[in-house]
Amino acid sequence: MFDLNGALERFAGKLALENILAAAVTLLVCMVAVRLLLKLARRLLSRTKLEERIRRYILMLVKLVLYTLTVVFTAGSLGVNMTSLVALLSVGSLGVTLAAEDVLGNVAGGLVILSSHPFAIGDFIESGGVSGTVEEISLNHTRLITPDGLTALLPNKELAASKVTNYTTLGRRRIVWKMSAAYDAPTETVKTACYRAVEATEHILPDPAPAVYLTAFGESGIDFTVYCWALAEDFWTTQFALAENLRAEFAKAQVEIPYNKLDVQITKAPK
């Protein structure tokens, strides 16, 4: 079993004057070396295509490693038992690793997201049943603003390992709107009304061309589906405007929109 008290006693030790002078020189040399190495690391990272945030995080990690080595070398110059020091660092690092397992997993996921670019700030994404606009990508979590104005924090560990749907990456989104018409309404009349609604709706893109298809036969009506495209930033307003125009054009063409009907018969009980 590891003797912590004994390790601390050996770590402290009795420091001789020459050891103190040697440690001061070692510390000075190490600090100069750290500055030079960090400057070199900044130059090398600036020549890469990595994002600024990733370069900053890598630089922080390099700085942590260099300062840790500085502490080790300085302690060795003081005559500290390096076996005990390494044992203390190992125990401490193990405890930190166990306590921060989820945090480290989120950091790894954040680095994966920042390097693979599955989405960017401003994109509308969906993952794990949550959808919204990406507001912030940090090492620990990704912040979304949902369509109803709520803030959702998704852990990067789960986000990097789950399915992510990006609705913005193409720059445009497809609108799919289903309408139902009565069985006695002619197919061409219904399709013409749908096309007129598309023409009356602003921000619908001409390419890809809008299309209307008969897609299903329901219990009380025939289902038609309208397919068209709009820019990602115009998606919601265009979709709602199309719905209003479809209702107006159906009314102009006298196309009945069916609804479920219930026939109730009242009978008298026999005497």
- Is the backbone of residue 75 left (phi > 0), alpha (psi -120 to 50) or beta? alpha
Token pair recorded at residue 213:
């298809």
Give the lowest-confidence range in 17-31, 78-92, 160-174: 78-92
Q: Is the pLDDT of residue 99 over 50?
A: no
**146 pLDDT more than 60:** yes
Q: Are 224 and 178 in contact (CB under 8 A)?
A: yes
| Averaged pLDDT for residues 261-265 | 64
Please indicate whether residue 94 or residue 153 has the higher confidence score (pLDDT).
153
Same domain, 195 and 220: yes
Q: Which of 216-225, 237-246, 254-263 has the lowest mean pLDDT?
A: 254-263
Query: Within a domain: residue 154?
Result: yes
Q: Say if residues 220 and 260 touch (Cβ distance below 8 Å).
A: yes
Higher-scoring residue by pLDDT: 195, 56: 195
Q: Do 17 and 95 have their domain in common?
A: yes
262 within a domain of the structure (yes/no): no
pLDDT in tens, 4-36: 555 445 544 445 666 777 777 888 888 888 888
Domain span at residue 56 reads: 4-99
Residue 266 is assigned to a structural domain of this protein: no
**Is 176 part of any domain?**
yes
Q: Is the dihedral of CA 204, 209, 214, 216 positive or negative?
A: negative
Mean pLDDT of the chain: 81
Please report where in the chains the tokens 């397992």 appear, as a residue: 101
45 in the same domain as 90: yes
190 shares its domain with 239 = yes
Q: In what order do the strands lie in the sheet with 211-217?
A: 172-181, 222-231, 211-217
* CATH number of the domain within which 123 lies: 2.30.30.60
Place of tokens 């994109």: 123
Q: What is the CATH number of the domain that holds 226?
A: 3.30.70.100
Please check whether residues 179 and 146 belong to one and the same domain: no
Q: Are 177 and 162 members of one domain? A: no
Work out the burial of residue 246: count CB atoms within 10 Å of its CB; fewer than 13 is exposed, 13-18 middle, 19 or more buried. Answer: buried
pLDDT at 106 over 80: no
Per-residue pLDDT of 188-236, as tens digits, reads: 999 999 999 999 999 999 999 999 999 999 888 999 999 999 999 899 9
* Better pLDDT: 107 or 125: 125
Domain membership of residue 107 (yes or no) is no
210 shares a domain with 129: no
Q: How many domains does the chain have?
A: 3
Judge if 95 and 26 occupy the same domain. Answer: yes
Axis crossing angle, helix 17-46 with helix 52-77, rounded to the nearest 10: 160
Instruction: Calculate the alpha carbon distances from 192 to 153, 201, 244 in Å.
Output: 45, 14, 16
What is the average pLDDT across 126-130? 89
- Cβ atoms within 10 A of the Cβ of 215, count? 12
In a domain, 258, yes or no: no
Is the pLDDT higher at 55 or at 200?
200
Residue 108 is predicted with a pLDDT of: 78
Judge whether residue 141 has pLDDT over 80: yes
Are residues 150 and 189 located together in one domain of the fold? no
Which of the listed residues 74, 99, 124 is the one where a domain comes to its end? 99
Q: Residue 179: which of 196, 203, 164, 167 has the closest Cα?
A: 196
The reply to whether 89 falls in a domain is yes
Q: Are residues 87 and 135 in the same domain?
A: no
* CATH code where residue 88 lies: 1.10.287
46 shares its domain with 72 = yes
Of 132, 151, 166, which residue sits at a domain end? 166
pLDDT at position 40, please? 85
pLDDT at 114 over 70: yes
CA distance 57 to 107: 10
Q: What is the distance, to the nearest Å, from the Cα of residue 149 to the centroid of all Cα atoms in its chain?
A: 17
Q: Does a structural domain hold residue 158?
A: yes
What's the per-residue H, E or C state across 101-115? HHHHHHHHHHHHHHH
State how far the Cα of 173 lies from the Cα of 165, in Å rounded to an integer: 12
38 with 64, same domain? yes
Rounded Cα gap, residues 236 and 220, in angstroms: 29
